């Protein structure tokens, strides 16, 4: 029987339980932040950061504009009074969405970007329409200063800028300024959009592809051009305040189209294999540590891969080693005393018996008594025919023994297992928001090295 006092206490217990559930609910997981460079953001001194037009739909004309390739002659045959044809990016070849603003997640980069509005109407001095500004043309010092809204002045691990240069490669600078302390300054050479130079921090985000470049009469040309990603590690112990894009060589020929900031993430330390050397058929393990950056929480799915890939000759003569992780995912929560770990297991495949060797032994075993039988014919007082038969039998035996090693040695019916050599096991992660790991600090790596030796 429940007393009145206990009945009154029950609602309070339920309220307390509800409060505990709410109090310990995991915080929302951080996601990438696409910096809004459009006219609605006013991040650049109270106005939009876009100051040029550089993205058009196929078939759209923009004669008389200055961007992107400086009204170069020969790109098209412009009607009078225009003597040059500037170039721009084709929105279709870039793969931009048809929404406004346009978006793109390059597969080579793996994070989303928000672009400016694509020009879908004929524009420029040859028409009554002004072209929509959707590109940042880098300017000389102090450069284009992009100040983040106060709500976005947070800790980030990585900044990725999509951009390029035209009329050759050019020298610029990207600066990350924090709410405290000194800025991070990244001198940057920007590659010509149709000639990738592989400069520091630079990779191809989209392309190369024919038709990436469109001329001022709306026609894509056959040049193989690209859009580049410029990736910079940020100080994840301080809040990012602003980004500055500066033209350092005065060319006016460097451009930025979109910027995405990656939130705090994690690194993976592969640890050390124990034992470092194994023989075929045995295993080695390593403790893999997932180190979260300050402020990161989330569940990370882990996987491993081994190089080099083993291909036997023939293929069936060798077996690749395998790797596994236990557990295959780890969760980082706020206030953990130690970073989470998982156990990596490397297994070298065991060799099988070589059937060719067994067959050779069986061959010799079957023929071994025969010479004795042949010689018996010489020791007996038998007819001349029996002696001739013994000589013939002995000759056949000697010929068979001479040919047997050559025949068997060319046939391999066994499996050597995992061949001796050094193998590298790489551990990678991706969380529920598609955040991958950051670059490892100096002195650590997400790879484990194991050596397989002969038995």
* pLDDT digits 0-9 by tens, 231-246: 999 998 899 999 999 9
Q: 266-352+416-453 sits in which CATH class?
A: mainly beta
pLDDT for 315 equals 54
Q: What is the mean pLDDT of residues 72-76?
A: 64
Query: Average pLDDT in the 381-387 region?
Result: 56
- pLDDT tens per residue across span 6-58: 444 444 444 444 333 333 333 334 568 999 999 889 999 999 999 999 999 99
Which range is most confident: 19-23, 185-189, 380-384, 433-437?
185-189
User: Which burial class, exposed, middle or buried, applies to 39 when counting CB atoms under 10 A from its CB (0-12, 13-18, 19+)?
Assistant: middle
Stretch 143-165: mean pLDDT:
95
374 φ, ψ (degrees, to nearest 5): -65, -40
pTM of this prediction exceeds 0.75: no
110: pLDDT confidence band, cut at 50, 70 and 90?
A: confident
- Residue 395's pLDDT is 60
Angle subtended by helix axes 384-409 and 370-379, to nearest 10: 160
The region of weakest confidence among 132-141, 146-155, 215-224 is 215-224
170-195 pLDDT tens trace? 999 999 999 999 999 999 999 999 99
The strand pairing partners of 73, in sequence order, are none
Give the pair of three-digit tokens for residue 435. 């955040």
Q: What is the pLDDT of residue 245?
A: 98
CB-based contact 329:288 (threshold 8 Å):
no
Across residues 298-323, what is the average pLDDT? 83
Which is it for the CA torsion 353, 355, 360, 365, positive or negative?
positive
Residue 407 has pLDDT above 60, yes or no: no
How many Cα atoms sit within 13 Å of 264 on the Cβ side?
19
Q: Predicted confidence band at 84 (pLDDT cuts at 50, 70, 90)?
A: confident
358 or 158: whose pLDDT is higher?
158
| pLDDT recorded at residue 392 | 61
Q: Which two tokens stand for residue 248?
A: 């350092």
Lowest mean pLDDT among 104-118, 354-368, 383-397, 420-434: 354-368
Q: Summarize the confidence of residues 324-353 as an average pLDDT.
A: 92
pLDDT at 393: 54
Instruction: Say yes or no to pLDDT of 64 above 90.
Output: no
Residue 317 has pLDDT above 90, yes or no: no
- pLDDT at position 152 is 95
Q: How far apart are CA 299 and CA 281, in angstroms?
A: 33
Confidence of residue 278 (pLDDT cuts 50, 70, 90): very high
CA distance 390 to 404: 21
The predicted model gives 410-425 an average pLDDT of 77
The answer on pLDDT for 78 being more than 90 is no
More confident residue, 273 or 433: 273
Q: Choose from 212-221, 253-262, 435-444 the range with maximum mean pLDDT.
A: 253-262
pLDDT tens figures, 343-367: 999 999 988 765 444 444 444 444 4
Average pLDDT along the chain: 82
Q: Is the pLDDT of residue 81 over 70?
A: yes
């Amino acid at each position: 029987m429940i007393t009145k006092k206990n009945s009154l206490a029950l609602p309070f217990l339920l309220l307390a339980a509800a409060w505990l559930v709410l109090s310990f609910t995991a915080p929302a997981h951080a996601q990438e932040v696409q910096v809004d460079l459009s006219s609605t953001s006013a991040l650049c001194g109270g106005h939009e950061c876009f100051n040029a037009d550089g993205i058009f739909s196929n078939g759209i004309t923009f004669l008389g504009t200055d961007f992107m390739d400086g009204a170069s002659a020969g790109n098209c045959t412009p009607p009078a009074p225009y003597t040059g044809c500037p170039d721009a990016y084709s929105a279709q070849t870039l793969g931009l969405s048809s929404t406004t603003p346009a978006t793109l997640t390059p597969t080579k980069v793996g994070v989303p970007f928000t672009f400016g509005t694509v020009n879908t109407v004929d524009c420029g001095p040859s028409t009554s329409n002004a072209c929509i500004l959707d590109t940042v043309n880098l300017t000389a010092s102090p450069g284009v200063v992009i100040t983040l809204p106060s709500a976005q002045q947070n800790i980030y691990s990585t900044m990725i800028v999509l951009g390029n240069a035209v009329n050759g490669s050019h020298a610029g600078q990207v600066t990350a300024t924090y709410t405290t302390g000194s800025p991070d300054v990244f001198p940057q050479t920007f590659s010509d959009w149709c000639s990738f130079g592989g400069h520091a921090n630079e990779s191809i985000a989209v392309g190369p592809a024919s038709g990436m470049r469109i001329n001022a009469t709306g026609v894509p040309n056959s040049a193989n051009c690209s859009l580049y990603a410029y990736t910079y590690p940020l100080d994840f112990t301080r809040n990012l305040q602003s980004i500055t894009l500066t033209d350092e060589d005065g060319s006016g020929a460097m451009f930025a189209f979109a910027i995405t900031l990656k939130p705090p993430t994690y690194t993976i330390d592969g640890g050390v294999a124990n034992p470092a050397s194994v023989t075929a058929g045995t295993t080695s393990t390593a403790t893999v540590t997932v180190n979260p950056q300050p402020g990161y929480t989330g569940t990370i799915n882990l996987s491993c891969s081994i190089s080099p890939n083993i291909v036997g000759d023939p293929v069936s003569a060798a077996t690749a080693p395998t790797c596994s992780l236990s557990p295959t995912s780890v969760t980082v929560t706020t206030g953990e005393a130690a970073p989470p770990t998982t156990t990596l297991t490397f297994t070298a495949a065991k060799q099988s018996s070589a059937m060719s060797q067994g067959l050779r032994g069986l061959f010799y075993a079957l023929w071994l008594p025969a010479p004795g039988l042949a010689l018996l014919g010489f020791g007996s007082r038998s007819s001349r025919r029996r002696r001739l038969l013994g000589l013939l039998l002995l000759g056949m035996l000697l010929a068979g023994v001479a040919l047997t090693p050559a025949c068997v040695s060319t046939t391999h019916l066994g499996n050597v297992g995992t061949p001796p050599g050094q193998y590298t096991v790489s551990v990678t992660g991706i969380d529920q928001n598609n955040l991958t790991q950051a670059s490892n600090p100096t002195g650590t790596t997400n790879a484990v090295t194991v050596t397989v030796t002969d038995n």
